[in-house]
Structure 1
Amino acid sequence: MIDASGTWSTPNPAGADGLPAIGEAASADLLSYRIPDFRDRAGFAGKHTVVIGSGHSAVTAVLALARMARRDPSTTVTWALRRATAGNTFGGGDADELPARGALGIKAKEHVDAGLVSLLTGFRVERVTRDRERPVLVAEDGRTLTADRVVVLTGFRPDLSFLSELRLELDPTLQAPVRIAAEVDPNVHSCGSVAATGAADLAQPEPGFYLVGAKSYGRAPTFLALTGYEQVRSVAAEIAGDREAARRVELVLPDTGVCGGAGLFDASGASLGGACCAPPVLQIGRAPAPA
């Protein structure tokens, strides 16, 4: 059996360090943890939207909202980053070996520079309250944001609940298979410096069971789809009995671009100098409490 169910159903909270902010669960009806369908302009046009997060999902949401703001100046966008400086938020730019990824960052910076998006750094959400039907975000340093919409795009974690009756061997911190945890640890690796992981690394003590795709990286934010394709190729070869093909590595990852971590990396304002392969620091807290 192959579990390629991903992490889409288990988003990270708005609060810092992997923990929900105070009041976040009670205000969950006012928060969105997915990239919204921006074709529904009525939900955002003429309103103030706060986007929390620094990854590619957050950039995608910011770009869509900035386009609305350009057409309708009554639409306002605030982009809240946990990290202390903008640093590598805009990615590798023209030097990114994944051109589409680099283009996202370039366009986002253009919108920020043009004033279509207000960028806040060091905004670590401590509390979420309500002003009637408007969410209010309070940062650890006391800053407050009142919005019409809040889009929380702070990453995901694996859903292991339906695997409770299977024998698993996972790293207790990253929640990734133990044989690849050291390879995907964002304290050491970024998306371009992670070695390929094959069937032997992904197999679990449960006979014939493999974790692949984003879920195999657990809570590490450094997964690339290219890696997932190689994982599936290797596992499929193993199941088919082609051990040589399963052991073979058929993957070359791009070396440039940015795949940073969170936690202390956010707080430190550390810069990766435009390359993805310097070691970010990830501080991981407990799993979020149930809503």
Structure 2
Amino acid sequence: MVTAFRTGEVAAGGAGTLTLTSLDGATLGDVDEIIVVTGFRPDLSWLAEVRLDLDPVLSAPSRLAPLIDPNVHSCGTVYPHGAAELAQPETGLYLAGMKSYGRAPSFLALTGYEQTRSVVAAIAGDHEAAARVDLVLPESGVCGGSGVFDGEPTEESGGACCAPAPELITLAAAPTARDAGGRGTSCG
């Protein structure tokens, strides 16, 4: 598996494989499978009949959008948030988790857990707990959001969110009971 590789060209290789060339000229040969991570945009069409206040660019709650705008923030610089930023004009409706981030790519599962904790507290009427922020997010190295993605951190990026250098990971078949000296378990 190779990560943080921005493909610029795909060419036929030998024996049914592919050769990839990155935007900066690096090549990977003998590639037999490509999994493309293109991003995600949540489907909010099922909420068409309720009142929503969404940012027109990010499709995220309007109060949350400036905090997660990928042109300004990476996952390490997103202010921890909860019910206040997720509430919608429809009484008792909150967008949480991936759906709350719309087109923004910087969502972290830890963020979703904190959002859910805050929203549940708000629904339960514990507004003090809903307003409290219990989450501290990592400051760097957690995503390829805004700022530098390929290469070293720069002063302008604050050193945050640089993707690691591409690393080749070889996956092998799982060992069999025979490989383990006959001490395997039956999985049938």
Residue aligning to 2:143? 259
Matches within 5 A, 1:6-155: 62=1, 81=6, 120-122=21-23, 150-155=34-39
Residue aligning to 1:180? 64
Listed as ranges, the gaps of 5+ residues in structure 2 are 9-17, 25-30, 163-188
Percent identity among equivalent residues?
58
Decide whether aligned partners of structure 1 residues 228 and 150 sit closer, same or farther in structure 2, where only a CA change above 3 A counts: same
Decide whether aligned partners of structure 1 residues 80 and 251 sit closer, same or farther in structure 2, where only a CA change above 3 A counts: closer
SS in 2 for 1:241: coil
Q: TM-score, with normalisation over the residues of structure 2? A: 0.65
Which is bigger in relative contact order (C-alpha 8 A, separation at least 6)?
Answer: 1
Residue aligning to 1:272? 153
Decide whether aligned partners of structure 1 residues 265 and 252 sit closer, same or farther in structure 2, where only a CA change above 3 A counts: closer
Decide whether aligned partners of structure 1 residues 257 and 165 sit closer, same or farther in structure 2, where only a CA change above 3 A counts: same
SS in 2 for 1:120: strand
| Aligned-residue CA RMSD (Å) | 3.3
Which is strand-richer, 1 or 2? 1
Q: TM-score, with normalisation over the residues of structure 1? A: 0.44
Which is helix-richer, 1 or 2? 1
1:203 aligns with 2:104: no
Aligned residues: 145
Residue aligning to 1:246? 130
Residue aligning to 1:217? 101
CA contact (8 A) 2:74 2:106 kept: yes
Listed as ranges, the gaps of 5+ residues in structure 1 are 1-61, 64-77, 84-116, 124-146, 279-291
Equivalent position to 1:234, from 99, 118, 127: 118
Alpha-carbon distance, 1:120 to partner: 2.8
Decide whether aligned partners of structure 1 residues 233 and 271 sit closer, same or farther in structure 2, where only a CA change above 3 A counts: same
CA distance in 2 between partners of 1:195 and 1:227 (Å): 10
Alpha-carbon distance, 1:260 to partner: 2.4
Amino acid across the alignment from 1:169: D
Runs (4+) of structure 1 exceeding 6 A deviation are none
